[in-house]
Homo-oligomer: A and B are copies of this chain.
Amino acid sequence: MGDTGMETPGFAFRVLHRHGHARVGRLTTPHGDVETPAFVAVGTQATVKSLTPDDLVEVGTEIIFANTYHLYLRPGADVVAELGGLHEFMQWHRPIMTDSGGFQVFSLGASIEQGVGKIAPIFPGETPEIPTRRKPTEGRSLVEVTDEGVRFRSHLDGSRHWFTPEVAIRVQRQLGADIILAFDECTSPLHDYEYTRQAMERTHRWALRSLEAFHATRPQHGYPQALYGIVQGGAYEDLRRRSTRFIAELPFDGFAVGGSLGRTKADMWRVLEWTVPDLPPDKPRHLLGIGEVPDIFAAVERGVDTFDCVAPTRMARNAGLLARTLDGERLPRFRINMRNARFRRDPRPPVEGCACPTCRTYSRAYLHHLFRANELLAYRLATLHNLFFMNRLMADIRAALQEGTFEALKAHWLGP
């Protein structure tokens, strides 16, 4: 399958069109194709919160992302494996990606163990995908990292666990996502150069061990899995360039850019410029945890193919509907707060002109009422809208890249 980029039989990545560094592509997996650039909806606990798989199909989602750390702790990777893997377990029959567990081990594990960075759920009872507040420099000392692996505590019950590259691969074999990730140590903007360098070098050693473990194990659910490597190195140019060179040479099926992307959007753009151009041009590139509208445009034009992010679905549960709006200063904003009192009697669709199931059916007044009344249907209707919005945005970006109108589309969204 050399001409289609990926190493593992059953997978392919075809670049259909290029526009500068940006690419329009098609990612083929055992569970179907994904048109890229694509947004990957996050379904942390084997469910995209409030939606069924049918809902996801209805709003155009082609691929979802689940979290290894969460599923390993609950219900347990062995349980998911017994039930036939993630696709069967959650009855989603399109592609799935899982992360390696690294990010949450270092964030959730650390923050709980410390009693700092207490996790603030969106509403009581909800399990967070990622902590909303972290102090990783403190956390680092309490999550025990050695070259062998990481010892951490469950954020659910404080039980002790041990993750290594081999464990991360074994668990992801059990879960059975189409695309799985190498185990990495995730650093934050609060980590200094020296620690970021050590963590990066550990991540490189773990990349080799992840590959080895991947090839030493077999898929468990009757279809192959692809393995992506992860570039680390924080917001330091020399580290990012070193990490890219190292990881890009390894026989991964695709590549993810992870870890700290700095503190500002400009930092993130620079990190992408230090990394993406040196990744193999014929393999897919994933950007971890990014999904705001300006970031999507910036990453697409720097050559990224897929993105996962909790923001659209989390924002929905906070009554935020994604929309192209202009605020008082004519700066683009991308969020309408449905709890706002001005919607109380507003008979218009939540976002005018939107063709999503929510906006085709209900009024702003009704959504406003559901949010004010804390009704479960509110979260679902807003989530449908936000995922439809993201999928539609990505489709528009793909079309614009094909038609050579990407810059015009970007100006329409972000202003000149």
Question: Which residue of B has the minimal Cβ distance to A78?
Answer: B345
Selecting from A138-146, A227-235, A364-372, the interface stretch reads: A364-372
Residue contact B370 to A47, C-beta cutoff 8 Å: yes
Known: A124-B123, A372-B74. A365 touches B50 (CB 8 A): no
Q: Is the CB of B123 within 8 A of A365?
A: no
- Residues A126-173 near B (CB distance < 8 A): 126-127
Residues of B within 8 A of A269 (CB): none
Q: In the assembly, what is the distance between CA of A369 and CA of B91, in Å?
A: 14
**A374 in the interface (beta carbon within 8 A):** yes
A375 B124 Cβ-Cβ under 8 A: no
Report the minimal beta-carbon distance from A405 to chain B, rounded to whole angstroms: 36
Within the complex, which residue of B51, B79, B365, B380 is in contact with A75, where a contact is CB–CB below 8 Å?
B365
A195 at the interface (CB under 8 A from B): no
Q: Is the CB of B49 within 8 A of A375?
A: yes
Contact of B376 with A75 in the complex, beta carbons under 8 Å: no
Q: In chain B, what residue has the closest Cβ to A121?
A: B374
Closest to A372 in B: B74
- Check A125 for interface membership: any CB of B closer than 8 A: yes
> Is A373 a contact of B45 with CB atoms below 8 Å?
yes
Tell me, rounded to whole Å, the shortest Cβ–Cβ distance linking A347 to chain B: 6
Which residue of chain B lies nearest to A376 when distances are taken between CB atoms in the complex?
A: B50
Contact of A52 among B47, B124, B373, B377 (CB under 8 A): B377
Asked whether A365 lies within 8 Å of B79 as measured between CB atoms, the reply is: yes
Task: Report the separation of the CA atoms of residues A3 and B81 in the bound assembly, to the nearest whole angstrom.
Answer: 63
CB-CB under 8 A from A79, the residues of chain B are 344-345, 365, 369
* CA of A49 to CA of B362, assembled, Å: 16
- Which one of B361, B362, B374 contacts A127 once the chains associate, using CB atoms below 8 Å? B374
- Knowing A52-B377, A380-B376 are in contact, say whether A369-B123 is a contact too (CB < 8 A): no
CB–CB B365/A51 < 8 A: no
Alpha-carbon distance A407/B242, docked complex (angstroms): 79
Chain A's interface size range is 35 or more
Q: For the complex formed by this chain, how many copies does it contain in all?
A: 2
Known: A75-B365, A366-B89. A45 touches B375 (CB 8 A): yes
A278 interface residue (CB < 8 Å to B): no
**Is A288 in the interface zone, CB < 8 Å from B?**
no
Q: Is the CB of B347 within 8 A of A83?
A: yes
A406 within 8 A of B: no
Chain B CB within 8 A of A395 CB: no
Distance in Å: Cβ of A135 to nearest Cβ of chain B:
26
What's the Cα separation between A414 and B348 when bound, in Å?
A: 50
CB distance from A392 to the nearest CB of B (A): 21
A82 contacts partner chain B, Cβ-Cβ < 8 Å: yes
Shortest A170–chain B CB gap in Å is: 19
**Does A210 lie at the interface of the complex (its beta carbon under 8 Å from any beta carbon of B)?**
no
A306 contacts the other chain (Cβ, under 8 Å)? Answer: no
Once bound together, how far apart are the Cα atoms of A51 and B376, in whole Å? Answer: 8
Distance of A146 Cα from B45 Cα, bound (Å): 54
Q: How far is the CA of A373 from the CA of B375 in the complex (A)?
A: 19
B124 touches A380 (CB 8 A): no
Residues B50 and A369 in contact, CB atoms below 8 Å apart? no
Residues of A within 8 A of B (CB): 45-47, 49-52, 74-75, 79, 82-84, 89-91, 123-127, 344-345, 347, 361-363, 365-366, 368-370, 372-377, 379-381
9 closest A-B pairs by CB: A124-B124, A50-B376, A125-B374, A75-B369, A45-B373, A47-B377, A47-B375, A83-B365, A49-B376
20 A/B residue pairs, CB under 8 Å, sorted by A? A45-B370, A45-B375, A47-B370, A47-B377, A51-B377, A52-B381, A74-B372, A74-B373, A75-B365, A75-B369, A75-B372, A79-B344, A79-B345, A82-B365, A83-B363, A84-B347, A91-B361, A127-B375, A376-B379, A376-B380
